[in-house]
Chain A
Amino acid sequence: MLFRVLSKKEFRKFVGLLLADTEVIAPKQIGVSTDGKPIHQYLPVQAFGEIDLEYETTEYPAKTYFLPYRENLSICSFDEDDWTREIHYRLQPRVLLGLHACDINALLKLDKVLAGDRYPSPYYISRRRNTFIIGIDHDPCEGGFCQSVGADVVTHGFDLYLTDLGDRYFIAINSDRGFNALKLVAAKEPTKRDNNDYLKVRSRIASQFEPLEMHNLPNLLDIEFESDVWKRWSEKCMSCGSCSMVCPTCYCYGTTERISMNNEQGAKIKQLYSCNFLDFAAVAGGHNFRADRETRLKYRYYHQHRGFMEAYEEPLCVGCYRCGRACLAGINPPDIIRDLQTEHQE
């Protein structure tokens, strides 16, 4: 990995150049919660002043810029008895500034499914390659357990990755377009002091995580398949699907087709879905393969921590805790995982 150091003043100039060139998405404060905490969202920004790189987390992940909540897969034009189809992929370049390690890791996991070796998705790949990603290190967010799932550090999946050293940024470069972009400003080779300061910041961040025991979780999930833990937690679950909507790695979807009022056009629309929704596995004829919310809640965890593990040797979950924050019933992965472990010990 190549590294550079950029003063904060030069960094501001750098962001100015990006803003002049293309659309920039960055964390922006959009309000204050009832307990006085700022609420941030990844949104398009017009000026450096709108960006808050000190943000703790966002309610929604950045996945919407790669997997929009709703997207037209194709447009159909009807003419008499026939139809023709058009497909468009998004190709406008975009900068996504300020992603934390967990969210970049989330993209790497999505890459495995959507840009891997089985039916790679042109919709996703087009957006992914047209997005210039600048990540940034941060102290652990409240509830976050990214370190326990190995998502607190990133080594690829971004163009530039910043670590705040007070008056300057230490920058890891992971692409030639990142390298070239930094040539526009006075980026310097890191000195010994820069390297030391960077390593110190990294250790400070790493030491602050509270570990969550994840050992042998896939097998534990199999053993506790019929566990009362699922019954207890599912009694609270309202099957609202908020957990999936705010999850940076949940990618499941449904498609519907709509016809315009004049019957001339139709669209095949993809909409992100949730495995907690009642009709997720319902089929024509009335049968529902997952009619109980207990089963649905359980399978969300199964996919995240067992199924994905089986396929890719890593969990799908990145430990961002957005689902825990969004859940109106207080359902969250650390508590469920701890519950499963104690259930096992009893």
Chain B
Amino acid sequence: MTRLFYPYDITRESEMEQPLDFNRRSRLKHVDRAFKSEIINIIQLTDMEKLFQVRILDDADRARFSFLPGQFVMVEVPGYGEIPISISSSPSHRGYIELCIRRAGVVTSILHKAKRGAHVGLRGPFGTHFPIGKMQGNHILLIAGGLGLAPLRAPIFDVIENRSNFKEVHILYGTRQPSMLLFNYQYEEWNRIADINLQVIVEEGDASWTGPVGMITQLLDEVAIEPLETYAIICGPPVMFKFVCAHLQNEGIPMDRMFVSLERRMHCGMGKCCRCNIGSTYTCLSGPVFDYWTVMNLKEAI
């Protein structure tokens, strides 16, 4: 007797046989096959945060990998777990990506113990990005609080590298204490660039601190804003971007010209596990970058 049913082998689908590229989100692919990557350098930023320079090992995969500022990758330490981390390096930089990671949970703790040369898995990039192209010809406010500088660093690089596309550019950064400042070796470089206004503030100064002390909104008081010709990108804890966005709203900036990046627990990055749902909006698909008007409409966002 002839058989009624024959096995259908999904790996034989032509889409599945093509090289893995997460930018083609509608294509069938090995969604759990991560890019094996090497940690090529580890840079200690503070007691809690390290910057990992990570390079995809396969030459073709690395050449294919591209991302936009604000997007994230899922970083897997086999045997330990997988976590979403936003990319901190410049989108134009193609050799390796930089991931700023705070020691906070199981996976980040083991990553902090990792040595140069260790192999991790990367999947992505995932999520929405800051629409830098749309911001051309406008003033740009890049505002970060605490660890928020990690996701903000990609749009900072993008704006700096395309400086002539924008009017005034302000980078405002605040943390609780001077010891918590991220990328402080980079401030001088950013400051020396003509026509970039970098301001850093801390909530509690210490003996060595000579800069301003106070909340981040204080820095905004010194910036003259032309509301209808300004775009703002704000990264930081919800309580911080809530105050900053309220301030900018009072200045008259429309809410759809302010962009924030949200963080949630994630297990897939692809709109399947539901763990990142805000209401029923997937942070991984519709976010992590949202304009503030959308955030106002997400009931449990702030």
Which residues of A approach B to under 8 Å, CB–CB? Answer: 17-18, 20-22, 73-74, 76, 78, 81-83, 85, 87, 89, 91-93, 95, 113-114, 117-122, 125-126, 129-130, 132, 177, 181, 184, 225, 251-259, 266, 268, 273, 275, 280-285, 289-290, 295, 299, 302-303, 306-308, 310-311
Does more than half of chain A's interface fall in helix, strand or loop, or is it mixed?
A: mixed
Is there an interface contact between B6 and A93, defined as CB atoms closer than 8 Å?
Answer: yes
Residue of B nearest to A285 (CB): B104
Is there an interface contact between A120 and B28, defined as CB atoms closer than 8 Å?
Answer: yes
Residue of A nearest to B115 (CB): A81
Interface residue? B194 (CB, 8 A): no
CB distance from A97 to the nearest CB of B (A): 13
Is there an interface contact between A253 and B277, defined as CB atoms closer than 8 Å?
Answer: no
Interface residue? B34 (CB, 8 A): yes
Is there an interface contact between B79 and A284, defined as CB atoms closer than 8 Å?
Answer: no
Residue of A nearest to B237 (CB): A287
Interface residue? B64 (CB, 8 A): no
Which residues of B approach A to under 8 Å, CB–CB? Answer: 1, 3-11, 16, 25-34, 36, 76-83, 102, 104-106, 108, 117-119, 121, 263-265, 267-268, 270-275, 277-281, 285, 299-300
A-B contact pairs, 8 of them (CB 8 A): A74-B32, A120-B27, A125-B10, A126-B8, A132-B5, A254-B273, A273-B273, A284-B108
Contact of B265 among A18, A114, A251, A282 (CB under 8 A): A282
Is there an interface contact between B264 and A87, defined as CB atoms closer than 8 Å?
Answer: no
Q: Which residues of chain B come closer than 8 Å to A281, judged between CB atoms?
A: 264-265, 275, 277
Is there an interface contact between B8 and A85, defined as CB atoms closer than 8 Å?
Answer: no
Is there an interface contact between B6 and A254, defined as CB atoms closer than 8 Å?
Answer: no
Q: Which residues of chain B come closer than 8 Å to A74, judged between CB atoms?
A: 32-33
Is there an interface contact between B5 and A118, defined as CB atoms closer than 8 Å?
Answer: no
* Closest A-B pairs by Cβ, 5 of them: A307-B280, A284-B105, A252-B274, A93-B5, A119-B270
CB distance from A127 to the nearest CB of B (A): 9
Contact of B81 among A21, A256, A306 (CB under 8 A): A256
Is there an interface contact between A302 and B28, defined as CB atoms closer than 8 Å?
Answer: no
